[in-house]
């Protein structure tokens, strides 16, 4: 349904009054029919980026293309994109039918065509029985569907979503995420979706673009970003509970690399020896996701452990989250099997799955030393217009 279009941002920047750089040198190529999620913490520039695509904010520098058209100076109403807002932005005095039909009426579509489109989209979204109601008579989930329907009936080149699920309760967010994904498969529409919710990013995006302080950190598929984060910020942002970070010193002895964390020494895999050769005696950061800890030894691995005391044991259902403190006072989390005998104040040794560790340079955005340079180029992702 509809005409899909590539969306391309080339060296786009936005500087607000007071020399505040909201977005810096942003390069992103979103393919025809792709579902791209831009994710990052509040204030990272993701909504500003979306508003520049929509034409609601003017770029300070760079170019934005929708299809083959340079739209820098094209008014929002002529960009042929539809935006779904966080607050739904429905007209309170209009019925659901009137809200969905409004944009088509403004474009002088024939009534027969308007009626056909509204009925078709209402059926697609399951809101046929709500067409005569006004927004105040709808639940949050129903309003969100109507806002989606109002966008879909326009048949735009691209959909722009600005945190559309943030006003829904947790259970409804989960079901609506699945519905949105199914809707995308059906429509095959180009979609740019902005969120601070990493679960939304991981579940919805064909690719995700991680932003921090107005700068792209990494653009890749969800599992690529999760398993091969290019830097410490990306690694810590995606994942619940978050990745654990241990600052320590790298030592080499007889061609064996070891990582010293307080009273514990971790013997690092031989496969990392070459990439770590320049970091002898330097401070580095070991990253371990909670699921890569265990109170039991991993098969065919050296006994690498961190000694700690259990603080809190939280059964989640499919796993148990164990909150611990090592001998130097460093707190960390392990996600282990659901049935565990561990309890508060137990002294334990937590084994590390060395095949899943990450090693970073120090600093908030310290690069991931354990992945190849070719992957790291994703952090400097730059699109070239074909």
For 152-194, the three-class secondary structure string (H helix, E strand, C coil) is HCCCCCEEEEECCCCCCCHHHHHHHHHHHHHHHHHHCCEEEEE
Residue 82 pLDDT: 92
Question: Residue 64 and residue 197: Cα distance in Å, rounded?
Answer: 26
Element (H, E) at 199: helix 198-204
Is the pLDDT at 200 greater than 90? The verdict is: yes
Is the pLDDT at 204 greater than 90? The verdict is: yes
* pLDDT above 70: percentage of residues in the chain: 95
Question: Residue 123 and residue 132: Cα distance in Å, rounded?
Answer: 14
Question: Residue 56 and residue 80: Cα distance in Å, rounded?
Answer: 13
Strands 158-162 and 81-84: parallel
List the 347-352 sheet strands across, edge first.
293-294, 347-352, 305-315, 320-326, 331-336
The domain 7-235: what is its CATH number? Answer: 3.40.50.300
3-state secondary structure 50-92: HHHHHCCCCCCEEEEEECCEECCCCCHHHCCEEEECCCCCCCC
Residue 270 pLDDT: 87
Burial of 211 (0-12, 13-18, 19+ CB in 10 A): buried
Shortest CA distance to 158 belongs to which of 62, 63, 83? 83
Q: Which has more pLDDT, 1 or 186?
A: 186
Contact (Cβ atoms closer than 8 angstroms) between residue 222 and residue 385: no
Contact (Cβ atoms closer than 8 angstroms) between residue 233 and residue 364: yes
Is the pLDDT at 340 greater than 50? The verdict is: yes
Q: Return the domain boundaries, the chain.
A: 7-235, 241-369
Residue 372 pLDDT: 59
The domain 241-369: what is its CATH number? Answer: 2.40.50.140
Confidence grade of residue 4 (pLDDT, cut at 50, 70, 90): low
pLDDT tens per residue across span 112-148: 999 999 999 999 888 999 999 999 999 988 998 899 9
Which SS3 state, helix, strand or coil, does residue 215 take? strand
Residue 291 pLDDT: 96
pLDDT tens per residue across span 39-95: 999 999 999 999 999 999 999 999 999 999 999 999 999 999 999 988 888 999 999
Residue 384 pLDDT: 38
Confidence grade of residue 170 (pLDDT, cut at 50, 70, 90): confident
Average pLDDT of the chain to the nearest whole number: 91
Is the pLDDT at 7 greater than 90? The verdict is: yes
Contact (Cβ atoms closer than 8 angstroms) between residue 7 and residue 65: yes
Q: What is the mean pLDDT of residues 180-205?
A: 92
Residue 299 pLDDT: 80
Contact (Cβ atoms closer than 8 angstroms) between residue 182 and residue 148: no
pTM for this prediction? 0.89
Question: Residue 351 and residue 38: Cα distance in Å, rounded?
Answer: 35
Is the pLDDT at 290 greater than 50? The verdict is: yes
- The two tokens of residue 271 are 């496969």
pLDDT tens per residue across span 311-325: 999 999 999 999 999
């Amino acid at each position: 349904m509809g005409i899909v279009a590539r969306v391309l941002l080339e060296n786009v920047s936005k500087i607000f009054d007071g020399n505040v750089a909201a977005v810096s040198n942003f390069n992103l190529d979103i393919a025809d029919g792709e579902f791209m999620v831009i994710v990052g913490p509040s204030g990272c520039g993701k909504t500003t980026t979306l508003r520049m695509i929509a034409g609601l904010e003017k770029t300070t520098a760079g170019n934005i293309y929708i299809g083959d058209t340079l739209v820098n100076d094209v008014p929002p109403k002529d960009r042929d994109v539809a935006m779904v807002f966080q607050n739904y932005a429905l007209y309170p005095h209009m019925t659901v039918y009137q809200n969905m039909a409004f944009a088509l009426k403004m474009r002088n579509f024939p009534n027969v065509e308007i009626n056909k489109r509204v009925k078709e989209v209402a059926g697609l979204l399951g809101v046929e029985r709500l067409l005569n109601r006004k927004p105040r008579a709808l639940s949050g989930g129903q309003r969100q569907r109507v806002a989606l329907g109002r966008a879909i009936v326009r048949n735009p080149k691209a959909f722009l979503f600005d945190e559309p699920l943030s006003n829904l309760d947790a259970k409804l967010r989960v079901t609506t995420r699945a519905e949105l994904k199914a809707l995308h498969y059906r429509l095959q529409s180009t979609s740019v979706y902005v969120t601070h919710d990493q679960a939304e990013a991981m579940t919805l995006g064909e690719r995700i673009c991680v932003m921090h302080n107005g700068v792209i950190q990494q653009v890749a598929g969800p599992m690529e970003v999760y398993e091969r984060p290019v830097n410490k910020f990306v690694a810590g942002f995606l994942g619940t509970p978050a990745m654990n970070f241990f600052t320590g010193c790298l030592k080499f002895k007889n061609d064996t690399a070891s990582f010293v964390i307080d009273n514990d020494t971790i013997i690092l895999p031989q496969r990392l020896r070459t990439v770590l050769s320049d970091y002898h005696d330097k401070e580095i950061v070991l990253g371990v996701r909670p699921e890569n800890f265990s109170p039991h030894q991993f098969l065919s691995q050296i006994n690498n452990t961190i000694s700690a005391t259990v603080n809190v044991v939280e059964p989640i259902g499919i796993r148990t989250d164990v909150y611990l403190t090592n001998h130097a006072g460093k707190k960390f989390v392990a996600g282990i099997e659901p049935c565990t005998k561990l309890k508060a104040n137990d002294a334990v040794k937590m084994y590390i799955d060395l095949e899943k560790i990450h090693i970073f340079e120090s600093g908030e955005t310290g690069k991931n030393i354990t992945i190849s340079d070719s992957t790291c180029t994703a952090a400097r992702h730059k699109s070239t217009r074909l």
